[in-house]
C-alpha cells in the first residue's frame, strides 16, 4: 500500500502515440485530458518520439513517459507490466497505418503494441494517415478486423493533409477526442445491470419484551449509498435495521431488527449480489436468553449474559466466490491503523473509515478509503455527495 493520500480514485487512461505528423496534436489532447481530471499515462512508439519529444508529454501529464520495450531498469519493467493492468482505457492517437496493421495481426513489436495486446480494458484508436493509405484495401481490411475485435475507431476526419493533399485521413481534433474519452468514462462509472446489496442502520438486540441493546447509528450513510447506487443504475437491495428515515427508491427493501435477522436477509440475497456494501452498525453481541415477558425492576444488581453475534461481512467475504465486498469502520482513535487492520482481517478490497465522533448522526462526514491502490481522502462533505463519490470509486475498482 502506498502511503501518500490522494483524493478519490482518478480515471486512468493510457495514451498511446504512434509515428505521424498528427503526434503534435496529441500534446493538446494530453493537456485537455489531464485538465479534465484524468490520470494520463503516455506510451510512445520510437517513431512517435521523432515527431514530438517525450519530455513534452511528461511535463503535460506529470507522469513519466515510456517508449522502450527493452527497458532494463527493474522499477520501470514493473511499471511496464502494470501499465496495461492498472488503466481503465487505452487510446492510441494518432494511430498510424503501420500500427493499425500490427494491431490487427496481434503483433507485439513495440511496448505500445505489447500493452494493447496484453490489456483487459477497452481500446480506442484515432487513425491519422495520408488519404491513399487510408483508402488502401489493406488498411480497410485491417480496420474491419479491429472493429470485429471490439476496438472503437474514432475518425479520421477529412480536410487538408500535412502532405498538401485533400481527403480523409486527418486525426480527429484533440477536443473531440477528449470529449469522447470523457463520455466513455461516464458510461463506465455506471453500475448498469449490477446487483448491489447494502446493509444500513443499527441492529437491535432484545433483552426482554420492551428493552434491548443497540448501536448508535442513524442509517443516513447507508441510505445515501443505496440512493447513489440507484442513481448509478444498479439494481439495489437495502437491508435496513431500525431507522427513522424515508427509504430511497430501491428495488427491494428488507426491514430487519437483530443481527441474526440481518444475516439471514443477506444470506438469502448474496448469490445474486455483485457488490456488497456493509454499512450497518451491527451489534457485536446479543443477549443469550431473551425474556419474552417484561422483566420487573428490583433493588438487586441485574446482569445479562451476552454472546457474540455473527460477523455478517466476514461471513460474506469468506465465501468461496464472494461478491466485491466493501466494509466500513467507525473508530474513535488510530483511525487508519485500525481500519487497515480490519480490511486485512476481513480480506476486503475496499474499506471506508471515518471517525465515529464526527460521523454518527451527522449530515456530513470525512471519509478515508483504503484499498489496494492506497489511501484516498474524501474531504468533509454531505453524506449524499460522499455516497456518490464512493459509488464512483467502487465502480472503478470493481471494473479493474
Ligand atoms: N459488521 C458486520 N457484522 C458484525 C459486525 C460488523 O457485518 N457483526 C461489518 C460492519 O457493517 C462494517 C464492518 O463489519 O462494515 C465493521 O467491522 P468490525 O471489525 O466488526 O467493526 P466493529 O464492530 O466496529 O469492531 P470493533 O468493535 O472491534 O472496532
b/e map 241-280, b = 16+ CB within 10 Å:
bbbeeeebebeeebebbbbebbbbbbeebbeebebbbbbb
CA distance 260 to 256: 9
Task: Determine the length of the chain.
Answer: 400
From residue 151, how far is each of 43, 95, 106, 121, 365 by CA, in Å? 18, 12, 13, 10, 41
- 264 with 146, same domain: the answer is no
For residue 342, the ligand 1 atom closest to its alpha carbon is 19
What mean pLDDT comes out for the span 374-396? 91
Task: Report pLDDT digits (tens) over 29-50.
Answer: 999 999 999 999 999 999 999 9
| Ligand 1 centroid to residue 125 C-alpha, Å | 46
More confident residue, 23 or 380: 23
- 114 with 195, same domain: the answer is no
| Ligand 1 centroid to residue 276 C-alpha, Å | 14
* Averaged confidence pLDDT in the chain: 91
- 249 with 151, same domain: the answer is no
What pLDDT is attached to residue 7? 56
Domain boundary among 161, 185, 209: 185
- 34 with 123, same domain: the answer is yes
Cα dihedral across residues 360, 361, 366, 372: positive or negative: positive
Domain boundary among 139, 154, 185: 185
Residue 2 within any structural domain of the chain? no
Give, using CA atoms, the residue closest to atom 27 of ligand 1. 284
What pLDDT is attached to residue 328? 96
Give, using CA atoms, the residue closest to atom 19 of ligand 1. 342
What pLDDT is attached to residue 1? 36
Residues with a known catalytic role:
163
What mean pLDDT comes out for the span 127-152? 95
Give, using CA atoms, the residue closest to atom 23 of ligand 1. 284
Domain boundary among 185, 214, 232: 185
What pLDDT is attached to residue 106? 96
- 78 with 166, same domain: the answer is yes
For residue 326, the ligand 1 atom closest to its alpha carbon is 15
**Reported confidence tier of residue 4, pLDDT bands at 50, 70, 90:** very low
What pLDDT is attached to residue 373? 85
- 193 with 157, same domain: the answer is no
Residue 5 within any structural domain of the chain? no
| Ligand 1 centroid to residue 280 C-alpha, Å | 8
| Ligand 1 centroid to residue 378 C-alpha, Å | 21
CA distance 363 to 35: 31
Structural domain range at position 156? 12-185
User: Phi and psi of 220, rounded to 5°?
Assistant: -60, -45
What pLDDT is attached to residue 341? 94
% of the chain exceeding 70 in pLDDT: 94
CATH code of 52's domain:
3.40.50.1950
Residue 67 within any structural domain of the chain? yes
CATH code of 367's domain:
3.40.50.10300
What mean pLDDT comes out for the span 381-388? 91
- 384 with 240, same domain: the answer is yes
**Reported confidence tier of residue 3, pLDDT bands at 50, 70, 90:** very low
Q: Which residues pair with 350 in a beta bridge?
A: 326, 371
Please give the tally of structural domains in the chain: 2
CA distance 119 to 86: 9
| Residue 186 in this model has a pLDDT that exceeds 90 | no
What pLDDT is attached to residue 165? 79
What mean pLDDT comes out for the span 138-152? 94
| Residue 189 in this model has a pLDDT that exceeds 70 | no
What pLDDT is attached to residue 205? 98
Residue 4 within any structural domain of the chain? no
What pLDDT is attached to residue 359? 67
- 278 with 163, same domain: the answer is no
What pLDDT is attached to residue 79? 53
- 165 with 199, same domain: the answer is no
| Residue 361 in this model has a pLDDT that exceeds 80 | no
Long-range Cβ contacts of 172-179 (<8 Å, 24+ apart): 172/126, 173/25, 174/25, 174/26, 174/28, 174/29, 174/32, 175/32, 177/29, 177/91, 177/93, 177/126, 178/29, 178/32, 178/33, 178/36
What pLDDT is attached to residue 185? 85
- 112 with 221, same domain: the answer is no
For residue 284, the ligand 1 atom closest to its alpha carbon is 8
b/e map 188-211, b = 16+ CB within 10 Å:
bbebeebbbbbbbbbbbbbbeeee
| Ligand 1 centroid to residue 340 C-alpha, Å | 13
What pLDDT is attached to residue 203? 98
Residue whose CB lies within 8 A of the most ligand 1 atoms, among 278, 281, 316, 354, for a mutation test: 278
Residue 3 within any structural domain of the chain? no
Q: Which range is least confidently modeled, 143-152, 157-166, 388-397? A: 157-166
For residue 310, the ligand 1 atom closest to its alpha carbon is 8
Residues with CB under 6 A from ligand 1: 199, 259, 278, 280, 282, 284, 309, 311-313, 327-329, 342
For the ranges 22-26, 231-235, 328-332, the one whose mean pLDDT is highest: 22-26
Task: Report pLDDT digits (tens) over 257-292.
Answer: 999 999 999 999 999 999 999 999 999 999 999 999
Residue 114 within any structural domain of the chain? yes
- 279 with 385, same domain: the answer is yes
- 340 with 266, same domain: the answer is yes
Q: Is the separation of the CB atoms in 165 and 130 below 8 Å?
A: yes
% of the chain exceeding 90 in pLDDT: 76
- Residue 80, C-beta contacts closer than 8 angstroms, at least 6 positions apart: 66, 69, 71, 111, 115
| Ligand 1 centroid to residue 234 C-alpha, Å | 25
Residue whose CB lies within 8 A of the most ligand 1 atoms, among 217, 307, 311, 312, for a mutation test: 311
Can you state the angle between helices 54-61 and 23-35, rounded to 10 degrees?
A: 10
What pLDDT is attached to residue 166? 83
Q: Which range is least confidently modeled, 93-107, 156-170, 364-378? A: 156-170
Amino acid at each position: 500500500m502506498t502511503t501518500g493520500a490522494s483524493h478519490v480514485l482518478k480515471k486512468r487512461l493510457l495514451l498511446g502515440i504512434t509515428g505521424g505528423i498528427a503526434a503534435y496534436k496529441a500534446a493538446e489532447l494530453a493537456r485537455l485530458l489531464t485538465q479534465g481530471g484524468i490520470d494520463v499515462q503516455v506510451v510512445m512508439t520510437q517513431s512517435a518520439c521523432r515527431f514530438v519529444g517525450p519530455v513534452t508529454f511528461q511535463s503535460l501529464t506529470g507522469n513519466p513517459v515510456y517508449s522502450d520495450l527493452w527497458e532494463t531498469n527493474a522499477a520501470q519493467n514493473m511499471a511496464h507490466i502494470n501499465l496495461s493492468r492498472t488503466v481503465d482505457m487505452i487510446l492510441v492517437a494518432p494511430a498510424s497505418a503501420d500500427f493499425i496493421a500490427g494491431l490487427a495481426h496481434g503483433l507485439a513489436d513495440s511496448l505500445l503494441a505489447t500493452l494493447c495486446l496484453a490489456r483487459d480494458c477497452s481500446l480506442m484508436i484515432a487513425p491519422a494517415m495520408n488519404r491513399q493509405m487510408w483508402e488502401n484495401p489493406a488498411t480497410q481490411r485491417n480496420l474491419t478486423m479491429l472493429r470485429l475485435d471490439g476496438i472503437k475507431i474514432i475518425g479520421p476526419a477529412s480536410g487538408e493533409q500535412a502532405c498538401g493533399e485533400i481527403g480523409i485521413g486527418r486525426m480527429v481534433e484533440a477536443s473531440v477526442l477528449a470529449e469522447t474519452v470523457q463520455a466513455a468514462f461516464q458510461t463506465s462509472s455506471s453500475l448498469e445491470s449490477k446487483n448491489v446489496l447494502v446493509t444500513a442502520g443499527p441492529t437491535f438486540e432484545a433483552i426482554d419484551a420492551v428493552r434491548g441493546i443497540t448501536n448508535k447509528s442513524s442509517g443516513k450513510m447507508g441510505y445515501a449509498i443505496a440512493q447513489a447506487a440507484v442513481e448509478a443504475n444498479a439494481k439495489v437491495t437495502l437491508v435496513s435495521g431500525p431507522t427513522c428515515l424515508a427509504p430511497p427508491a430501491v428495488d427491494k427493501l428488507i426491514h430487519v431488527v437483530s443481527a441474526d435477522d440481518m444475516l439471514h436477509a443477506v444470506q438469502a440475497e448474496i448469490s445474486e449480489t455483485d457488490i456488497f456494501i456493509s454499512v450497518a452498525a451491527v451489534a457485536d453481541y446479543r443477549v443469550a436468553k431473551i425474556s419474552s415477558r417484561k422483566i420487573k425492576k428490583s433493588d438487586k444488581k441485574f446482569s445479562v449474559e451476552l454472546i457474540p453475534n455473527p460477523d455478517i461481512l466476514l461471513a460474506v467475504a469468506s465465501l468461496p466466490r464472494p461478491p466485491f465486498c466493501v466494509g466500513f469502520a467507525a473508530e474513535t482513535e488510530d483511525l487508519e491503523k485500525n481500519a487497515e487492520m480490519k480490511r486485512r482481517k476481513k480480506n476486503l478490497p475496499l474499506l471506508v473509515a471515518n471517525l465515529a465522533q464526527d460521523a454518527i448522526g451527522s449530515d456530513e462526514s470525512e471519509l478515508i478509503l483504503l484499498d489496494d491502490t492506497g489511501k484516498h481522502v474524501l474531504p468533509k462533505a454531505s453524506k449524499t455527495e460522499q455516497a456518490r463519490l464512493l459509488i464512483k470509486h467502487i465502480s472503478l475498482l470493481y471494473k479493474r
